[in-house]
Structure 1
Protein backbone atom coordinates (compact mmCIF):
# COMPACT_ATOMS: atom_id res chain seq x y z
CA UNK A 1 0.00 0.00 0.00
CA UNK A 2 1.30 3.47 -0.77
CA UNK A 3 -0.74 5.10 1.99
CA UNK A 4 -2.25 3.27 4.90
CA UNK A 5 -1.45 0.44 7.19
CA UNK A 6 -0.41 -3.12 6.81
CA UNK A 7 -3.08 -5.37 8.25
CA UNK A 8 -1.51 -8.11 10.30
CA UNK A 9 -3.72 -10.45 12.27
CA UNK A 10 -2.35 -10.81 15.76
CA UNK A 11 -4.15 -11.99 18.84
CA UNK A 12 -4.01 -9.66 21.79
CA UNK A 13 -5.35 -10.46 25.22
CA UNK A 14 -7.85 -8.20 26.96
CA UNK A 15 -8.16 -8.50 30.75
CA UNK A 16 -11.67 -9.21 32.05
CA UNK A 17 -12.56 -7.93 35.52
CA UNK A 18 -15.55 -8.78 37.71
CA UNK A 19 -16.13 -6.78 40.89
CA UNK A 20 -12.63 -5.33 40.59
CA UNK A 21 -10.97 -8.77 40.33
CA UNK A 22 -9.15 -10.15 37.30
CA UNK A 23 -11.13 -13.22 36.23
CA UNK A 24 -9.99 -13.96 32.67
CA UNK A 25 -7.92 -12.97 29.66
CA UNK A 26 -9.97 -13.02 26.46
CA UNK A 27 -9.02 -12.28 22.85
CA UNK A 28 -9.43 -8.60 21.99
CA UNK A 29 -11.35 -9.11 18.78
CA UNK A 30 -11.03 -6.71 15.88
CA UNK A 31 -14.26 -5.16 14.69
CA UNK A 32 -15.43 -2.71 12.04
CA UNK A 33 -15.54 0.21 14.48
CA UNK A 34 -11.88 -0.23 15.49
CA UNK A 35 -10.86 -0.60 11.84
CA UNK A 36 -12.83 2.53 10.90
CA UNK A 37 -11.17 4.58 13.66
CA UNK A 38 -7.71 3.41 12.58
CA UNK A 39 -8.45 4.18 8.92
CA UNK A 40 -9.77 7.66 9.79
CA UNK A 41 -6.67 8.41 11.89
CA UNK A 42 -4.39 7.37 9.01
CA UNK A 43 -6.39 9.41 6.49
CA UNK A 44 -6.43 12.49 8.74
CA UNK A 45 -2.69 12.32 9.38
CA UNK A 46 -1.96 11.89 5.67
CA UNK A 47 -4.28 14.73 4.61
CA UNK A 48 -2.81 17.07 7.22
CA UNK A 49 0.77 16.29 6.15
CA UNK A 50 -0.05 16.86 2.44
CA UNK A 51 -1.88 20.11 3.24
CA UNK A 52 1.10 21.47 5.18
CA UNK A 53 3.52 20.53 2.39
CA UNK A 54 1.26 22.04 -0.31
CA UNK A 55 1.00 25.33 1.61
CA UNK A 56 4.72 25.47 2.28
CA UNK A 57 4.34 25.25 6.04
CA UNK A 58 7.13 23.60 7.98
CA UNK A 59 6.13 20.45 9.79
CA UNK A 60 7.75 17.78 11.83
CA UNK A 61 6.88 14.23 11.00
CA UNK A 62 8.00 11.16 12.74
CA UNK A 63 7.31 7.50 12.56
CA UNK A 64 6.48 6.13 15.95
CA UNK A 65 7.19 2.54 16.64
CA UNK A 66 6.63 0.94 19.98
CA UNK A 67 10.00 0.33 21.63
CA UNK A 68 11.08 -3.30 21.41
CA UNK A 69 11.17 -3.56 25.16
CA UNK A 70 7.59 -2.27 25.48
CA UNK A 71 6.16 -5.32 23.68
CA UNK A 72 8.20 -7.60 25.91
CA UNK A 73 7.13 -5.75 29.07
CA UNK A 74 3.47 -5.88 28.01
CA UNK A 75 3.73 -9.62 27.32
CA UNK A 76 5.39 -10.18 30.71
CA UNK A 77 2.62 -8.30 32.54
CA UNK A 78 -0.09 -10.27 30.75
CA UNK A 79 1.78 -13.51 31.38
CA UNK A 80 2.11 -12.71 35.08
CA UNK A 81 -1.64 -11.97 35.21
CA UNK A 82 -2.29 -15.24 33.41
CA UNK A 83 -0.06 -17.19 35.76
CA UNK A 84 -2.02 -15.69 38.65
CA UNK A 85 -5.30 -16.74 36.98
CA UNK A 86 -4.03 -20.30 36.53
CA UNK A 87 -2.47 -20.79 39.97
CA UNK A 88 -5.30 -23.05 41.14
CA UNK A 89 -5.52 -25.07 37.91
CA UNK A 90 -2.37 -27.21 38.08
CA UNK A 91 -3.17 -30.53 36.41
CA UNK A 92 -5.89 -29.10 34.12
CA UNK A 93 -5.67 -30.07 30.44
CA UNK A 94 -6.06 -27.53 27.63
CA UNK A 95 -6.25 -27.57 23.84
CA UNK A 96 -3.25 -25.65 22.54
CA UNK A 97 -1.63 -24.33 19.38
CA UNK A 98 2.16 -24.51 19.01
CA UNK A 99 3.41 -20.95 18.48
CA UNK A 100 7.14 -21.52 18.70
CA UNK A 101 9.53 -24.44 18.37
CA UNK A 102 13.26 -23.76 18.59
CA UNK A 103 16.33 -24.62 20.57
CA UNK A 104 15.25 -22.22 23.34
CA UNK A 105 11.99 -24.10 23.81
CA UNK A 106 8.59 -25.07 22.50
CA UNK A 107 5.75 -22.68 23.24
CA UNK A 108 1.98 -23.09 23.02
CA UNK A 109 -1.04 -20.81 23.23
CA UNK A 110 -4.21 -21.83 25.03
CA UNK A 111 -7.44 -19.98 24.35
CA UNK A 112 -9.19 -19.69 27.69
CA UNK A 113 -7.62 -17.79 29.27
CA UNK A 114 -5.71 -16.55 26.23
CA UNK A 115 -2.11 -17.29 27.28
CA UNK A 116 1.18 -18.66 26.09
CA UNK A 117 3.45 -20.98 27.99
CA UNK A 118 6.37 -23.31 27.55
CA UNK A 119 6.11 -27.05 27.03
CA UNK A 120 8.69 -28.49 29.43
CA UNK A 121 7.95 -32.20 28.91
CA UNK A 122 6.79 -34.09 25.82
CA UNK A 123 7.61 -31.33 23.32
CA UNK A 124 9.53 -33.66 21.01
CA UNK A 125 8.06 -33.65 17.51
CA UNK A 126 5.88 -30.59 18.04
CA UNK A 127 6.17 -27.91 15.36
CA UNK A 128 4.73 -24.45 14.83
CA UNK A 129 1.06 -24.69 13.81
CA UNK A 130 0.49 -28.10 15.40
CA UNK A 131 -2.36 -28.55 17.85
CA UNK A 132 -1.85 -30.51 21.03
CA UNK A 133 -3.40 -31.27 24.39
CA UNK A 134 -1.28 -29.91 27.20
CA UNK A 135 -1.45 -30.23 30.98
CA UNK A 136 -0.57 -27.32 33.25
CA UNK A 137 2.33 -28.40 35.48
CA UNK A 138 3.60 -25.15 37.04
CA UNK A 139 2.98 -21.42 37.26
CA UNK A 140 4.98 -18.62 38.84
CA UNK A 141 3.32 -15.20 38.65
CA UNK A 142 6.42 -13.42 40.01
CA UNK A 143 8.66 -14.85 37.29
CA UNK A 144 5.86 -14.97 34.66
CA UNK A 145 6.32 -18.71 34.09
CA UNK A 146 3.56 -20.90 32.73
CA UNK A 147 4.73 -24.47 32.14
CA UNK A 148 2.90 -27.29 30.39
CA UNK A 149 3.57 -30.90 29.49
CA UNK A 150 2.10 -32.76 26.58
CA UNK A 151 -1.01 -34.60 27.76
Structure 2
Protein backbone atom coordinates (compact mmCIF):
# COMPACT_ATOMS: atom_id res chain seq x y z
CA UNK A 1 0.00 0.00 0.00
CA UNK A 2 1.26 3.50 -0.78
CA UNK A 3 2.06 5.93 2.05
CA UNK A 4 -0.60 8.33 0.73
CA UNK A 5 -3.30 5.66 0.94
CA UNK A 6 -2.32 4.90 4.55
CA UNK A 7 -2.56 8.58 5.48
CA UNK A 8 -5.98 8.84 3.89
CA UNK A 9 -7.24 5.74 5.70
CA UNK A 10 -5.85 6.96 9.04
CA UNK A 11 -7.69 10.28 8.67
CA UNK A 12 -11.03 8.61 8.11
CA UNK A 13 -10.40 6.03 10.82
CA UNK A 14 -9.96 8.82 13.37
CA UNK A 15 -13.63 9.74 12.99
CA UNK A 16 -12.92 13.00 11.21
CA UNK A 17 -15.02 12.83 8.09
CA UNK A 18 -13.83 16.22 6.86
CA UNK A 19 -10.23 15.85 8.00
CA UNK A 20 -8.72 18.48 10.27
CA UNK A 21 -11.60 20.91 10.69
CA UNK A 22 -13.11 22.72 13.64
CA UNK A 23 -16.63 23.90 14.33
CA UNK A 24 -15.48 27.39 13.34
CA UNK A 25 -14.38 26.06 9.94
CA UNK A 26 -17.71 24.34 9.36
CA UNK A 27 -19.66 27.38 10.59
CA UNK A 28 -17.67 29.72 8.36
CA UNK A 29 -18.12 27.65 5.22
CA UNK A 30 -21.81 26.98 5.78
CA UNK A 31 -22.47 30.64 6.66
CA UNK A 32 -21.04 31.66 3.30
CA UNK A 33 -23.19 29.01 1.59
CA UNK A 34 -26.23 30.31 3.53
CA UNK A 35 -25.63 33.89 2.39
CA UNK A 36 -25.03 32.78 -1.19
CA UNK A 37 -28.22 30.70 -1.17
CA UNK A 38 -30.28 33.63 0.11
CA UNK A 39 -28.79 35.92 -2.52
CA UNK A 40 -29.55 33.50 -5.35
CA UNK A 41 -26.68 31.08 -5.85
CA UNK A 42 -26.77 28.84 -8.90
CA UNK A 43 -25.87 25.80 -6.77
CA UNK A 44 -27.34 26.48 -3.28
CA UNK A 45 -31.11 26.79 -3.56
CA UNK A 46 -32.67 28.58 -0.57
CA UNK A 47 -35.74 29.63 -2.48
CA UNK A 48 -38.58 29.33 0.04
CA UNK A 49 -39.27 30.24 3.65
CA UNK A 50 -38.95 26.66 4.90
CA UNK A 51 -35.43 26.29 3.58
CA UNK A 52 -34.48 29.75 4.88
CA UNK A 53 -35.85 28.87 8.34
CA UNK A 54 -34.06 25.49 8.48
CA UNK A 55 -30.76 26.91 7.23
CA UNK A 56 -31.09 29.78 9.72
CA UNK A 57 -31.65 27.38 12.64
CA UNK A 58 -28.66 25.24 11.64
CA UNK A 59 -26.39 28.26 11.19
CA UNK A 60 -27.53 29.65 14.55
CA UNK A 61 -26.67 26.34 16.21
CA UNK A 62 -23.27 26.33 14.51
CA UNK A 63 -22.55 29.89 15.60
CA UNK A 64 -23.46 29.03 19.20
CA UNK A 65 -21.21 25.95 19.10
CA UNK A 66 -18.33 27.82 17.46
CA UNK A 67 -18.14 30.47 20.16
CA UNK A 68 -16.14 33.68 19.76
CA UNK A 69 -17.22 36.27 17.22
CA UNK A 70 -19.75 33.97 15.56
CA UNK A 71 -21.52 33.32 18.86
CA UNK A 72 -21.52 37.05 19.61
CA UNK A 73 -23.14 37.79 16.23
CA UNK A 74 -25.77 35.15 16.94
CA UNK A 75 -26.39 36.54 20.42
CA UNK A 76 -26.98 39.94 18.81
CA UNK A 77 -29.70 38.51 16.56
CA UNK A 78 -31.13 36.58 19.51
CA UNK A 79 -31.17 39.62 21.81
CA UNK A 80 -33.22 41.60 19.30
CA UNK A 81 -35.92 38.92 19.28
CA UNK A 82 -35.80 38.63 23.08
CA UNK A 83 -36.15 42.37 23.53
CA UNK A 84 -39.20 42.46 21.24
CA UNK A 85 -41.00 39.31 22.41
CA UNK A 86 -39.37 38.29 25.71
CA UNK A 87 -39.51 39.93 29.13
CA UNK A 88 -42.03 42.74 29.17
CA UNK A 89 -41.57 43.60 25.49
CA UNK A 90 -44.29 43.67 22.86
CA UNK A 91 -46.50 41.07 24.57
CA UNK A 92 -46.52 42.75 27.97
CA UNK A 93 -45.33 39.72 29.91
CA UNK A 94 -42.73 37.04 29.30
CA UNK A 95 -43.66 34.09 27.07
CA UNK A 96 -40.47 32.27 28.19
CA UNK A 97 -37.55 31.38 25.96
CA UNK A 98 -39.46 28.48 24.39
CA UNK A 99 -42.32 30.88 23.70
CA UNK A 100 -39.98 33.33 21.98
CA UNK A 101 -38.68 30.49 19.78
CA UNK A 102 -42.24 29.43 18.94
CA UNK A 103 -43.28 33.02 18.13
CA UNK A 104 -40.28 33.36 15.81
CA UNK A 105 -41.16 30.04 14.17
CA UNK A 106 -44.77 31.23 13.66
CA UNK A 107 -43.60 34.51 12.15
CA UNK A 108 -41.22 32.79 9.75
CA UNK A 109 -43.53 29.95 8.79
CA UNK A 110 -47.05 31.38 8.76
CA UNK A 111 -46.63 34.51 6.67
CA UNK A 112 -45.86 34.98 3.00
CA UNK A 113 -42.41 36.46 2.56
CA UNK A 114 -41.10 38.12 -0.59
CA UNK A 115 -37.66 38.51 1.01
CA UNK A 116 -36.34 35.33 2.58
CA UNK A 117 -33.97 37.23 4.85
CA UNK A 118 -36.76 37.56 7.47
CA UNK A 119 -37.45 33.84 7.94
CA UNK A 120 -33.67 33.30 7.79
CA UNK A 121 -33.13 35.79 10.65
CA UNK A 122 -35.95 34.18 12.64
CA UNK A 123 -34.22 30.83 12.11
CA UNK A 124 -30.90 32.26 13.31
CA UNK A 125 -32.52 33.56 16.48
CA UNK A 126 -34.27 30.22 17.06
CA UNK A 127 -30.98 28.36 16.53
CA UNK A 128 -29.21 30.53 19.10
CA UNK A 129 -32.06 30.48 21.64
CA UNK A 130 -32.94 26.79 21.33
CA UNK A 131 -30.33 25.50 23.76
CA UNK A 132 -31.52 27.72 26.60
CA UNK A 133 -35.23 27.33 25.83
CA UNK A 134 -35.57 23.81 27.23
CA UNK A 135 -38.08 21.23 26.01
CA UNK A 136 -38.09 20.13 22.38
CA UNK A 137 -35.98 23.15 21.42
CA UNK A 138 -33.01 22.07 23.56
CA UNK A 139 -33.50 18.42 22.58
CA UNK A 140 -33.03 19.40 18.94
CA UNK A 141 -29.99 21.51 19.92
CA UNK A 142 -28.43 18.60 21.83
CA UNK A 143 -28.93 16.17 18.93
CA UNK A 144 -27.38 18.71 16.56
CA UNK A 145 -24.37 19.17 18.86
CA UNK A 146 -23.87 15.38 19.09
CA UNK A 147 -23.93 15.07 15.29
CA UNK A 148 -21.53 17.98 15.01
CA UNK A 149 -19.16 16.34 17.49
CA UNK A 150 -19.21 13.21 15.32
CA UNK A 151 -18.25 15.18 12.21
CA UNK A 152 -15.54 17.21 13.93
CA UNK A 153 -14.19 14.24 15.88
CA UNK A 154 -14.44 15.72 19.36
CA UNK A 155 -17.04 16.82 21.86
CA UNK A 156 -18.35 20.32 21.28
Q: Per the shorter chain, which TM-score range?
A: under 0.3
Q: Which has the higher helix share?
A: 2
Q: Which has the higher contact order (CA 8 A, sep 6+)?
A: 2
Report the structure number with the largest CA radius of gyration. Answer: 1
Normalised to the residue count of structure 2, the TM-score between the two structures is: 0.26
Normalised to the residue count of structure 1, the TM-score between the two structures is: 0.26
